[in-house]
Every structure is written in structure tokens, then in C-alpha cells.
């Protein structure tokens, strides 16, 4: 089974948790896209749900698949958010934002009763940090923000190169919110909760890709089948 088939399997398993009448957060990325497509098939067959997309890309996918959409201004909570991740550790802390959608993803996950993470099992790691940590920043005063981020890294015992993310066309990547992303190659983040707190305290940082205590469960698809891990 190839990687894409594993992603679809994980998405299909998460779909088992969806009930009629639910309000759903719809994640972003190649794995979440499978979930949106499978959800669309169920909607076409009569399932009544409504979704909040975590990016303009997911909005377009959901519209194409016929999934009805709303916003967090029109409803007061979500039952489940189903989203992918770039890394998942055994405490179900995550690195997200490889696709640049971390800000909306975190807002939507935090407004949800449960967050189910779906992934192929290569995303499962003993310690976060091999995947570059995305930090969403305001372009204004970026030099000062970068220095403050470096200081936070030192205080949290991590270090590594930082680079402003570029889009495929070579221009600076701009998020749906109009911000930039700095990717930090940290290698190993021993204390992700402390680093998350330190980054959140920096004025020019809009959000970062550490999702601490947000995921309720992870559905990991691998060569030997599906593993569901619940947060203790």
C-alpha cells in the first residue's frame, strides 16, 4: 500500500466517529483532503453535517465535494476536528503547519470538543523536532521577532537554523491570514510545552506549529494496519 492509500485509510477510520448532525472542523493538507472527500461521499448519501474549513484550500475542496460550510461566528462550538500533522509524539503533542495553515487549524482545534489527528505512521516520532517548526510571524519588525525567537530557543535549550518560507515560485510564502512563516530546524525539542509558551509570548509571533494538549486521539495507518492512540 502506498503512502496516499495509508492516508486515505486513516481518514476513513476517522469518518467512523462522525455522527449525523455533527459540526466538524476540517483540517488542511493531503491527509485531511482525503477526509473531506470521503465526508463528501457520505453527505451525498444523506449524512447531515456542517464543517468549518481551516484554510482557503480546504474551503475549495469542501465546496467541490458538496460539504456544507459555516464559520465559528455562526456556531458556538465544533464536535470534532479531523486534521493531519507533520509530527506526532507519544503524548499526542504535534508539529503542524507544513502546509502553512497552522493558525486557522489551531483556532478550529481549540474550538472543538475533540481533535482527531490522521496520518500515515511515518509521522509518529519519539520526540518532536526533526520536522522544521513553523512559526507564523508578522512581516513588520521581523528582525526583532527573529532575535526574540532565537532568545526563546536558547532559554528552552534548543537551537537551529531559521528561514523565511518561500513559495514554489520563489516569492515569500504568505499565509491565508497575510502573514509569513519562519521554519526552524531544531532537530529535537525536549520540552515542547515550554517552547510553545515562550514562542506565544513574543509580540511578532502570531502562532506557532506546536499543538500541545489539543489532540484527543491519533489514527495512524501503516503497513501492519491502523493504530488508534488516545491521549491519556
Binding positions for substrate: 28-31, 83-86, 96-99, 123
How far is Cα 147 from Cα 102, in angstroms, rounded to an integer? 22
Question: At closest approach, how far in Å is the CB of 108 from ligand R5P?
Answer: 11
Q: Is 53 in the site for ligand R5P (CB under 6 A)?
A: no
Question: At closest approach, how far in Å is the CB of 58 from ligand R5P?
Answer: 10
Q: Please, what is the end-to-end C-alpha distance for the chain in angstroms?
A: 30
- Our CB check for ligand R5P shows the closer of 49 and 102 to be 102
Q: Is 25 in the site for ligand R5P (CB under 6 A)?
A: no
Decide: 179 and 129 in contact? Cβ < 8 Å: no
Stretch of 29-37, 56-64, 139-147, 183-191 lying at the interface with ligand R5P (CB under 6 A): 29-37
Decide: 80 and 118 in contact? Cβ < 8 Å: no
Q: What residues are paired with 183 via a beta bridge?
A: 134, 163
Please list every residue from 168 through 227 that binds ligand R5P, using CB under 6 A: none
Query: Is residue 63 among the annotated active site residues?
Result: no
Please list every residue from 120 through 139 that binds ligand R5P, using CB under 6 A: none
Q: Which three cell numbers stand for residue 168?
A: 514554489
Task: Could you list the beta-strand ranges (E) of 3-99.
Answer: 23-26, 50-53, 78-83, 87-88, 94-95
Cβ neighbours of 29 (radius 10 Å): 26
Sequence-ordered list of residues with C-beta below 8 angstroms from that of 97, at least 6 positions apart, any chain: 86, 105, 134, 136, 181, 208, 209
How far is Cα 91 from Cα 160, in angstroms, rounded to an integer? 24
Among residues 146, 138, 115, 151, the alpha carbon closest in space to that of 231 is found at 115
Binding mask 67-106 for ligand R5P (x = CB under 6 A): ----------------xxxx---------xxxxxxx--x-
Number of residues that bind ligand R5P (CB under 6 A): 18
Q: Is 40 in the site for ligand R5P (CB under 6 A)?
A: no
Question: At closest approach, how far in Å is the CB of 28 from ligand R5P?
Answer: 5
- Our CB check for ligand R5P shows the closer of 23 and 183 to be 183
Q: Could you give the residue numbers annotated as active site? A: 105
Binding residues for ligand R5P, per CB under 6 A?
Answer: 27-32, 83-86, 96-102, 105
Amino acid at each position: 500500500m502506498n503512502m496516499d492509500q495509508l492516508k486515505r485509510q486513516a481518514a476513513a477510520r476517522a469518518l467512523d466517529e462522525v455522527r449525523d448532525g455533527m459540526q466538524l472542523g476540517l483540517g488542511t493538507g493531503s491527509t485531511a483532503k482525503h477526509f473531506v472527500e470521503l465526508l463528501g461521499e457520505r453527505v451525498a448519501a444523506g449524512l447531515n453535517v456542517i464543517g468549518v474549513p481551516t484554510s482557503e484550500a480546504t474551503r475549495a475542496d469542501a465546496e467541490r465535494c458538496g460539504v456544507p460550510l459555516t464559520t465559528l461566528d455562526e456556531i458556538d462550538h465544533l464536535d470534532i476536528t479531523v486534521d493531519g500533522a507533520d509530527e506526532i509524539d507519544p503524548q499526542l503533542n504535534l508539529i503542524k503547519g507544513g502546509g502553512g495553515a497552522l493558525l486557522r487549524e489551531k483556532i478550529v482545534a481549540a474550538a472543538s470538543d475533540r481533535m482527531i489527528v490522521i496520518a500515515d505512521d511515518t509521522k509518529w516520532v519519539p520526540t518532536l523536532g526533526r520536522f522544521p517548526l513553523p512559526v507564523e510571524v508578522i512581516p513588520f519588525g521581523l528582525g526583532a521577532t527573529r532575535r526574540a525567537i532565537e532568545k526563546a530557543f536558547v532559554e528552552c535549550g534548543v537551537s537551529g537554523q531559521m528561514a523565511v518560507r518561500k513559495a514554489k515560485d520563489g516569492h515569500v510564502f504568505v499565509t491565508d491570514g497575510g502573514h509569513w512563516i519562519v521554519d526552524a530546524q531544531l532537530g529535537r525539542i525536549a520540552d515542547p510545552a515550554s517552547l510553545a509558551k515562550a514562542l506565544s509570548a513574543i509580540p511578532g509571533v502570531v502562532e506557532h506549529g506546536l499543538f500541545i494538549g489539543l489532540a484527543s486521539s491519533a489514527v495512524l495507518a501503516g503497513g501492519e494496519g491502523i493504530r488508534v492512540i488516545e491521549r491519556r
